[in-house]
Amino acid sequence: MRRILLRGGVVLNPQTHLHEPLDVLVEGERIVALGNALSPVDAQVLEVSGCYVVPGLVDMHVHLRDPGFPDKETMATGTRAAAAGGLTTVVCMPNTRPTVDDVSILDGVLATARRDGVVRVHSTAALTKGLAGVERTDMANLLQHGAVAFTDDGKSVMDPVVLYDIFQTAAQLDTLIASHCEDHHLVRGGAMHRGEVSQLLQDEGIPALGEELVIARDLLFAADTGARLHIQHVSTARGVQLIREAKARGVRVTAEATPHHFSLTDAILLDQGALAKVNPPLRPAEDVVAVVAGLQDGTLDVIATDHAPHTLAEKQQGLSRAPFGFVGLETSVGLAFTHLVHTGKLSADQVVARMSVAPARVLGLPIPQIAVGEVADITVIDPEFIWTVDPNRFLSKAQHSPFTGTKLRGKAVATVVGGRVVYTEKEGLLT
Identify the helix (H) or strand (E) that includes residue 410. Answer: strand 407-417
* DSSP structure class, residue 413: E
> For the packed helices 285-297 and 237-248, what is the interaxial angle rounded to 10 degrees?
20
Selected catalytic residue, list 306, 349, 382, 390:
306
Instruction: Evaluate whether 282 touches 259 at the Cβ level (below 8 Å).
Output: no
Give the integer Cα–Cα distance in Å for 147 and 229. Answer: 15
Length of the chain: 431
Beta bridge partners of 10: 21, 52
Give the integer Cα–Cα distance in Å for 9 and 199. Answer: 50
Instruction: Evaluate whether 117 touches 79 at the Cβ level (below 8 Å).
Output: yes
> Measured on CA atoms in the order 373, 366, 24, 76, is the torsion positive or negative?
positive
Instruction: Evaluate whether 92 touches 79 at the Cβ level (below 8 Å).
Output: no
* DSSP structure class, residue 282: P
* DSSP structure class, residue 340: I
Instruction: Evaluate whether 367 touches 359 at the Cβ level (below 8 Å).
Output: no
Reduced 3-state DSSP string for 130-173? HHCCCCECCHHHHHHCCCCCECCCCCCCCCHHHHHHHHHHHHHH
Do the strands 120-123 and 18-21 form a parallel or antiparallel pair, or are they unpaired?
Answer: unpaired
Single-letter residue type at 327: V
DSSP-assigned states of every residue in 358-374? HHHHHHTPPPP--STTS
Do the strands 407-417 and 420-424 form a parallel or antiparallel pair, or are they unpaired?
Answer: antiparallel
Is 306 annotated in the active site?
yes
What residues are annotated to the active site? 306
